[in-house]
């Protein structure tokens, strides 16, 4: 009722207001019409009415315009009120293996939940195939080193069907770590670590894309080029997947660690820079939540002789390590009639943590040299049959044409089991061929063994004669 009364009163008021303004134009205030003077008087009245109306408007408008300035100031004040997060490092230059002391301060009541550490200078090339859409993604700007430290006490909040679900980050981390087919996008979302995924999208300006197919990969083509990804949202999504393709394991990209934030807002955390960390500039960003982040604190990683930064591998390794390893393993490999790559590969990954695709791509041409030198030296002592080697070699070359292409596009996890079993059976059979029982039965093997013994005895006698 009251509302209705008020409405009718408002209507009346508006009518009055309308009358007040329109009355001069309707001529209700001007009863005498017809003369020029009258018209002039009428015109001046109109003008004066306009003037008054304009004045009134400006007067009414003034407070509105006047209010805008304080509002702007308020907004600026709000921006400046955004909590400031301080981050400090104990040194500005580190070496691989050093411990970085990260300290800082957040406003009391807040907690640092994530710390992002990324190399901003050393970047590497990474490629990845999306098996669902059959698209190949590639960029040369992936940070060579990337880690997000997640506070182990953090409880992640994820919105699901309109409700906020809370889960301890420890639980999520354990679940993803156990899953060999883990997906980085899901992990970032579920742990809220995407709040701290800041630097890669900034560093990467474009990700090239190709539409490919199995047939194209066989003929040695990546496929048809598609428009590159340049939108920051797309780059954020895809760059994370590329980082996963490079690092593979969850624990190499995400570290669960205690980040202690005291009551006064000071926090501290220690982080051990890996031995193989790349050289150049790094950034450290402390993150409270989606909105509250620190400015990057910067440091440099120094790499000096005998360590060397391998630019494609994106890691720093002692120069003599791979040299000695290659010498020892390839010797072992050539004795058994292989190059040694199958042992060198896992050792380089295990000892130096060099990414798998680079290890495969660098070991293969190295092994080529051990094989070449081995063939030359075996041919000198007659331990080779050229016809046999070349015939099997031609068919292997045909098969080898497909292999490296498929290596980019297929993971062999499921088939490795079969190969492993087959190889173990073959190894067992080979061992059986060295047992006295087998040699007794095989006349030819026995003859060769006896010939070896005869030659060894002759060589020994010759040496003794010389001495």
Verify binding: residue 433, other proteins, rule CB under 8 A: yes
For residues 296 and 196, give the distance between their C-alpha atoms in angstroms, rounded to a whole number.
Answer: 12
147 contributes a contact to other proteins by CB under 8 A: no
The stretch near other proteins (CB under 8 A) out of 38-46, 165-173, 193-201, 417-425 is 417-425
336 in contact with other proteins (CB under 8 A):
yes
Q: Which of 427, 457, 458, 461 binds other proteins (CB under 8 A)?
A: 427
The single residue among 447, 457, 458, 461 that binds other proteins, judged by CB under 8 A, is 447
Please tell me the count of residues contacting other proteins according to CB under 8 A: 118
Q: Whose Cβ is closer to other proteins: residue 31's or residue 399's?
A: 399
Contact code string over 220-249 relative to other proteins, x by CB under 8 A:
x-----------------------------
Please choose, from the candidates 119, 137, 135, 118, the residue with its C-alpha nearest in 3D space to the C-alpha of residue 127. 137
The single residue among 56, 174, 456, 458 that binds other proteins, judged by CB under 8 A, is: 456
Binders in 165-194 for other proteins, by CB under 8 A: none
What DSSP state is assigned to residue 158? E
Q: Which of 73, 76, 319, 458 binds other proteins (CB under 8 A)?
A: 319
Is 331 a residue that touches other proteins (CB under 8 A)?
yes
Q: Which is nearer to other proteins, 149 or 330 (CB)?
A: 330
8 Å CB contact between 289 and 154: no
Among 17, 40, 93, 430, the residue binding other proteins under the rule CB under 8 A is: 430
Kindly tell me which residue out of 390, 414, 464, 467 binds other proteins, with binding defined by CB under 8 A: 390
Report CA Rg, the chain: 39
Q: Which is nearer to other proteins, 63 or 220 (CB)?
A: 220
332 binds other proteins per the rule CB under 8 A: yes
The H-assigned helical ranges of 140-263 are 169-178, 184-191, 199-203, 214-218, 232-247, 250-253
Does position 437 interact with other proteins (CB under 8 A)? The reply is no
Contact 104, 87 (CB under 8 A): yes
Residue with smaller CB distance to other proteins, 64 or 388:
388
Applying CB under 8 A, among 342, 441, 461, 462 the residue interacting with other proteins is: 342
Residue 417 binds other proteins (CB under 8 A): yes
Residue 379's contacts (CB-CB under 8 Å, 6 or more residues apart) are 386
Please tell me whether residue 377 binds other proteins under the rule CB under 8 A: yes
53 binds other proteins (CB under 8 A): no
Q: Applying CB under 8 A, which part among 48-56, 89-97, 276-284, 385-393 lies near other proteins? A: 385-393
Residue 426 and residue 407: Cα distance in Å, rounded?
24
Phi, psi for 304 (deg, rounded to 5)? -130, 160
Buried b (16+ CB within 10 A) or exposed e, 337-360: ebbbbebbbebbbeebbbbbbbbe
Residue 339 lies near other proteins (rule: CB under 8 A): yes
**Cα 358–Cα 363–Cα 366 angle in degrees, nearest 5:** 135
Q: Is 158 in the site for other proteins (CB under 8 A)?
A: no
Q: Is 149 in the site for other proteins (CB under 8 A)?
A: no
Given candidates 21, 61, 423, 457, which one binds other proteins under the rule CB under 8 A?
Answer: 423
* Binding range to other proteins, per CB under 8 A, among 84-92, 107-115, 270-278, 422-430: 422-430
Concatenating the DSSP letter of every residue in 29-86 gives T----SSHHHHHHHHHHHHHHHHHHHHHHHHHHHHHHHHHHHHHHHHHHHHHHSPP-E
Strand order in the sheet with 135-143: 123-130, 135-143, 207-211, 224-229
- Segment lying near other proteins (by CB under 8 A), choices 36-44, 195-203, 290-298, 352-360: 352-360
Looking at the Cβ atoms of 191 and 370, the one nearer to other proteins is: 370
| Residue 306 lies near other proteins (rule: CB under 8 A) | no
CB closer to other proteins, 123 vs 236? 123
Q: Is 340 in the site for other proteins (CB under 8 A)?
A: yes
Which 3 state secondary structure label does DSSP give 296? coil
Q: Please report how the helices 320-335 and 341-352 are oriented relative to each other, as an axis angle in degrees rounded to 10.
A: 150
* CA 137, chain centre distance (Å): 13
Residues 6+ apart with CB under 8 A from 425: none
The values of phi and psi at residue 158, to 5°, are -125, 130
Which of these ranges, 98-106, 168-176, 231-239, 403-411, lies near other proteins under the rule CB under 8 A?
403-411
Biggest alpha carbon–alpha carbon distance for the chain: 153
């Amino acid at each position: 009722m009251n509302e209705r009364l008020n409405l009718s009163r408002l209507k009346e008021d508006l009518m009055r207001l309308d009358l007040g303004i329109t009355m001069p134009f309707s001529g209700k205030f001007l009863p005498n019409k017809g003369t020029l003077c009258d018209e002039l008087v009428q015109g001046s009245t109109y003008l004066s009415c306009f003037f008054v109306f304009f004045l009134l408007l400006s007067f009414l408008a003034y407070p509105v315009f006047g209010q805008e300035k304080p509002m702007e100031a308020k907004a600026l004040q709000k921006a400046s009120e955004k909590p400031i997060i301080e981050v400090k490092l104990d040194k500005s230059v580190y070496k691989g293996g050093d411990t970085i002391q990260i300290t800082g301060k957040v406003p009391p009541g807040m907690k640092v939940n994530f710390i992002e550490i990324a190399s901003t200078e050393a970047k590497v090339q990474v490629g990845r195939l999306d098996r669902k859409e059959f698209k190949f993604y590639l960029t040369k700007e992936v940070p060579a080193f990337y880690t997000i430290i997640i506070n182990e006490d953090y409880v992640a909040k994820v919105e699901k069907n309109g409700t906020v679900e809370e889960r301890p980050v420890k639980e999520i981390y354990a679940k993803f770590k156990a899953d060999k087919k883990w997906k980085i996008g899901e992990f970032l979302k579920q742990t809220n670590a995407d709040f701290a995924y800041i630097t890669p999208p900034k560093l990467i300006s474009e990700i090239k894309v190709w539409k490919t197919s199995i047939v194209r990969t066989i003929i040695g083509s990546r496929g048809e080029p598609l428009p590159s990804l340049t939108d920051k949202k797309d780059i954020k999504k895809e760059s994370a997947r590329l980082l996963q393709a490079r690092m593979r394991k969850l624990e190499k990209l995400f570290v669960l660690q205690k980040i202690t934030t005291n009551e006064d807002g000071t926090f501290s955390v220690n982080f051990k820079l890996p031995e193989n960390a790349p050289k150049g500039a790094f950034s450290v960003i402390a993150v409270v939540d989606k909105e509250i982040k620190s400015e990057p604190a910067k440091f440099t990683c120094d790499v000096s002789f005998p360590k060397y930064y391998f630019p494609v591998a994106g890691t720093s390794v002692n120069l003599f390590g791979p040299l000695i390893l290659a010498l020892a393993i390839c010797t072992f490999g050539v004795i058994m009639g292989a190059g040694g790559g199958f042992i060198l590969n896992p050792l380089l990954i295990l000892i130096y943590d060099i990414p798998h695709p680079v290890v495969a791509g660098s070991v293969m041409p190295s092994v080529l040299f051990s094989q070449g030198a081995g063939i030359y030296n075996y041919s000198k002592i007659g331990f080779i049959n050229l016809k046999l080697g070349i015939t099997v070699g031609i068919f292997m070359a045909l098969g080898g044409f497909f292999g490296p292409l498929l290596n980019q596009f297929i993971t062999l996890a499921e088939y490795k089991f079969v190969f492993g079993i087959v190889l173990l059976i073959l190894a067992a059979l080979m061992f059986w061929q060295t047992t006295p029982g087998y040699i007794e039965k095989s006349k030819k093997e026995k003859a060769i063994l006896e010939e070896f013994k005869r030659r060894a005895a002759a060589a020994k006698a010759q040496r003794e004669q010389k001495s």
